[in-house]
Structure 1
């Protein structure tokens, strides 16, 4: 790809989304790759920046023979080679492109409303245009580099000669939203999620993250991948070191605290059942067969102290199975607690004892900080990692449902009573076990509730799976962010495209190109400063080891403070109010944004970010503020802020500032 270079002209428009252009044999070195972006614009224009440009992607190609000499050329090829002059005369490649949007007002918009004409110029994007494509979230966290046509794009740089175009992701997109990470094992899902969690934690020092880590890789480094515990800004808080490990005083073995990270080794630490209501034990920790027996229902009306004593006796009996006195005391206590039922008999006491032994054996850890500390950790913005690497699926499933249920119930009560809710982002792996169609039928399942109602309760979810086709359709349709890597089956790719049609252009690449570390990313989040992606962006993901190295050595280069948006917003509002108070009814676009740009501090990422060396803020932030502030109140009156364009032009020339009373009279 030669940035900005002309490729040819539009020769046909077969349908409303497709066009073709031809590259001659003489220009064969300029031929684009499948998946390359191209730009279509008028052949000649006095002010090209002010015209609409179309963005397309190369979908297919076929070799053609020019003119009416096809049979003659085929005969020549059959008997002899053709010389260079004949090749230049006859040979060419026709490229088929899919229109995917327009550049309008400096913003990429999907789904063009009208089409280019035949003869329109076809060229490669300029470096500024590619940066615009990759810079949807210019104030985000870098997770990789832009890939076009299967190749990482390099652009000129004054400092380094060339540089790759970074792709940044605004981590506010994860807040209270559903995020899907799809891909086969070994293609970089964990590498990506560790980078996302790192960025999210750094951007949000008061927001918690809860990770159910099936392989132990989030807290335990391997020889090829670092862990979250090696991200220095996350573990900078003072800790007490015991035998080479950082641990919090008073916690039992298996609970390790490193700064904001609380690591729980699930094979050693589970629940302190003494602090859990018997109803919750029945709901979350009993097997389905044991629930049907209703063996513990008789204990639902017992006092908390009585339940604690029963659990301690059961644990003592398991530890000392030959101690007759402990068993006798246990049976005596159970009989007394169950005497309120007329139908109580020894068989029911025996059934209750058997069920309690199973629960205590597999889920009880004396002095465990769970569940008592769980809410405190979430409130403090900790990163809680449940290391499930040495336990079975059933334990992981019950642990996950219990923890999610506790936070959901806390926030649902706070929502009703209008108290502050807890901010938390959950990461759940092997999501097909929790979010499939069978599970989705149960609206009381805590993980289904999290997926469907999380936004209402300020809870976000990242769910990871190799099998998107196993996820319930309703949950998929409510997913806001997609990170898609190599998928193996037609069923998975078809399901993805049916829910997110934006992926249809990339379906073959996702299935046929098993490239490790390549992700196709789309987000439909629309909230204040955040806009939906106009198109799927292909990214070569940053290796997490590099993420750690950059964050540890030069944090500001990787993490941009979120409040920089508010800084430019405040200056924008202040300027508008000044103009209105001074009786100014019209202000030119250039004057307004030029003055705002001057007032921005040098460390604000939006300053001078318009492109092309122009002294204006980012196009994206300008567009967002134009949309947000259509009306502004000044001294008790409402004023309409209206962008005004020249007739037949797409760019904003000026803003009119009129009171609502005046505009209504007009």
Structure 2
């Protein structure tokens, strides 16, 4: 698990159904050894599963599948085989509160705020483009100067800070030699509706509720079905970067992330860890590359779910131990290096729920997923 998993399949091949059944097996009371970052002592903690859910499908996992009750003796038979069946009592849903959106219906949930404070250590979040070195350096200097002079950072406060330094003779612009064209480029780049809508909405900033979100033994679902385009990208990459940075770094980290075994499931993963086109994407991909290399040591597993495995960054795929490949189009199969030899033609013809499972140094195994979901699955 901490050596990472890929679940890939075309639309309609049973990818989400298969994934729910697989993730259900991890939601147990099993404990994993992990080193406390503060004391260095080895502790044993239960797994925290975080699911980034773009289609609002995984909150259902708190409920059992009512259809199983009609199948005489089935649940008992599965449980005798060591298969976890039924809803997950310890599942919590955290809905990102984003401006000018309607939150999805998920049942019981808590709101989640993306605070602008995350930008202090991750200025790349404000760079969904490829800036020149001059513009990047100037913007990073402005961000650093802003955080140095405030104890209550916000996106609105940052914009006001820039406004107060609009004069070319301002102390900020003189200190960093920011000329007029560069200043215009900075303001043009940071004045964006997506930033205004994503940052600082609500009363539950991510760092302040990390003890609730990254709780051992819990499944934490973060639905993003109400988000699209730039809002979705900024929200998801902010959350991913927070998790990865605090998990694999050693200084000034969030203890709830650092000291908890984590499995991070990312649906539609190709949208977030593909070959990067912008500085923001480059940052998260580089961090994800570090994470997959250190995951086993830090007890961080990346669980990627996608219909476009050919778009996942190659360095990340190389470090992905377990590959579950459901039916894929023939042209996709040809581009995926993890397809086991001898299955290239078969995978294109797989039926719903049919898959091949491959891991390094283990012979590929062809399986057929259970025809029923072990938790609720409406779609």
TM-score by length of 2: 0.68
Listed as ranges, the matches of 1:65-144 within 5 Å are none
Which one of the candidate residues 172, 177, 185 is aligned to 1:338?
A: 172
Corresponding residue SS for 1:445: helix
Q: Provide the rounded CA distance (Å) in 2 between the counterparts of 1:459 and 1:516.
A: 30
- After superposition, the Cα gap between the structure-2 partners of 1:413 and 1:499, relative to the gap in structure 1 and judged at 3 Å, is closer
The structure richer in strand per residue is: 1
- After superposition, the Cα gap between the structure-2 partners of 1:373 and 1:495, relative to the gap in structure 1 and judged at 3 Å, is same
Corresponding residue SS for 1:276: helix
Q: Residue 218 of structure 1 corresponds to which residue in structure 2?
A: 58
Q: Residue 234 of structure 1 corresponds to which residue in structure 2?
A: 88
Listed as ranges, the matches of 1:476-515 within 5 Å are 476-489=317-330, 491-496=331-336, 498-500=337-339, 503-513=340-350, 515=351
1:548 aligns with 2:359: no
Corresponding residue SS for 1:202: coil
Q: Provide the rounded CA distance (Å) in 2 between the counterparts of 1:331 and 1:337.
A: 13
Corresponding residue SS for 1:180: strand
Cα contact 2:3–2:321 (8 A) shared by 1 = yes
Which one of the candidate residues 260, 265, 268 is aligned to 1:430?
A: 268
Q: Could you list the per-position Cα deviations for residues 538-594 of structure 1 after superposition, in whole angstroms to 9, with x for gaps in the alignment?
A: 2233422xx127xxxxxxxxxxxxxxxxxxxxxxxxxxxxxxxxxxxxxxxxxxxxx
Cα contact 1:405–1:446 (8 A) shared by 2 = yes
Cα contact 1:178–1:460 (8 A) shared by 2 = yes
Q: Could you list the per-position Cα deviations for residues 85-136 of structure 1 after superposition, in whole angstroms to 9, with x for gaps in the alignment?
A: xxxxxxxxxxxxxxxxxxxxxxxxxxxxxxxxxxxxxxxxxxxxxxxxxxxx
- After superposition, the Cα gap between the structure-2 partners of 1:381 and 1:414, relative to the gap in structure 1 and judged at 3 Å, is farther
Q: Residue 366 of structure 1 corresponds to which residue in structure 2?
A: 201
Residue 181 (structure 1) shift: 0.9
| Matched length | 323
Cα contact 1:299–1:337 (8 A) shared by 2 = no
Q: Residue 150 of structure 2 corresponds to which residue in structure 1?
A: 306
Corresponding residue SS for 2:249: helix
Q: Residue 538 of structure 1 corresponds to which residue in structure 2?
A: 367
Q: Could you list the per-position Cα deviations for residues 316-366 of structure 1 after superposition, in whole angstroms to 9, with x for gaps in the alignment?
A: xxxxxxxxxxx7x97337766725626357776665555443264232133
Residue 488 (structure 1) shift: 1.3
Residue 306 (structure 1) shift: 2.4
Q: Provide the rounded CA distance (Å) in 2 between the counterparts of 1:433 and 1:201.
A: 26
Q: Residue 468 of structure 1 corresponds to which residue in structure 2?
A: 309
Unmatched 5+ residue regions in structure 1? 1-173, 220-226, 240-245, 316-326, 525-531, 550-666
Q: Could you list the per-position Cα deviations for residues 356-380 of structure 1 after superposition, in whole angstroms to 9, with x for gaps in the alignment?
A: 4326423213344233136422144
Give the structure with higher Rg (CA): 1
Corresponding residue SS for 1:201: coil
Corresponding residue SS for 2:152: helix
- After superposition, the Cα gap between the structure-2 partners of 1:445 and 1:375, relative to the gap in structure 1 and judged at 3 Å, is farther
Q: Residue 246 of structure 2 corresponds to which residue in structure 1?
A: 410
Q: Provide the rounded CA distance (Å) in 2 between the counterparts of 1:300 and 1:202.
A: 43
1:398 aligns with 2:252: no
Residue 423 (structure 1) shift: 1.5
Q: Provide the rounded CA distance (Å) in 1 between the counterparts of 2:8 and 2:207.
A: 34
TM-score by length of 1: 0.41
Cα contact 1:295–1:355 (8 A) shared by 2 = no
- After superposition, the Cα gap between the structure-2 partners of 1:247 and 1:216, relative to the gap in structure 1 and judged at 3 Å, is closer
Cα contact 1:255–1:263 (8 A) shared by 2 = no
1:188 aligns with 2:30: no
Cα contact 1:408–1:457 (8 A) shared by 2 = no
Q: Provide the rounded CA distance (Å) in 1 between the counterparts of 2:62 and 2:8.
A: 25
Q: Residue 656 of structure 1 corresponds to which residue in structure 2?
A: none
Q: Could you list the per-position Cα deviations for residues 66-86 of structure 1 after superposition, in whole angstroms to 9, with x for gaps in the alignment?
A: xxxxxxxxxxxxxxxxxxxxx
Q: Provide the rounded CA distance (Å) in 2 between the counterparts of 1:504 and 1:414.
A: 40
- After superposition, the Cα gap between the structure-2 partners of 1:375 and 1:446, relative to the gap in structure 1 and judged at 3 Å, is farther
Residue 512 (structure 1) shift: 2.4
